[in-house]
Amino acid sequence: MFNEVSLLKELTFKAVKSSGSGGQHVNKVATKVELHFNLINSKVFSETQKQRLLSKLKHRLTKEGVLILSCSESRSQIRNKELVIKRFMELINNSLKVKKQRIATKTPKSVIKKRLKSKRKQAEKKANRQKPSLD
């Protein structure tokens, strides 16, 4: 499908200070990791794969065709880098999967008969709850 090692070479990483509260550690250590991947200039994927990725990831890409993922879950920069790479690989693999086309099937006659029979039974049950007419 594609070579993961050469794909990892095309990734660029950037360490950024995490946002939000967290005390003194957050203010002095850049543990948040941002992953940048330029899909349009990638040499790993074929043109059909690129088109598929562009259509599947169009809401996650920038105008230049760059995918940006970030992770700040851990206090360790290395752990965040591992997590963001794992997420990136899952995202790419899921986007490249071709869903199997569903074959429409006709509802069996026995199922239709069973449904109509249960409807009739329910209607009779409710009709029997009514007060009898005096006619």
**Residues 29, 34, 40, CA angle at the centre, nearest 5°?**
160
pTM: 0.70
Residue range of the domain that includes 69: 4-96
pLDDT score at 7: 87
User: Is the residue at 12 inside a domain?
Assistant: yes
Say how far apart CA 14 and CA 84 lie, in whole Å.
Answer: 11
Q: Is the Cα dihedral 126, 128, 131, 134 positive or negative?
A: positive
Alpha carbon distance, N-terminus to C-terminus of the chain: 79
User: Is the residue at 40 inside a domain?
Assistant: yes
Confidence check: pLDDT of 58 > 80: yes
Beta bridge partners of 37: 67
User: What rounded mean pLDDT belongs to the chain?
Assistant: 89
Question: Mind listing the pLDDT tens digit for each residue in 76-99?
Answer: 889 999 999 999 999 999 999 988
Laid out side by side, the sheet with 32-38 consists of: 12-16, 32-38, 66-71
User: Is the residue at 38 inside a domain?
Assistant: yes
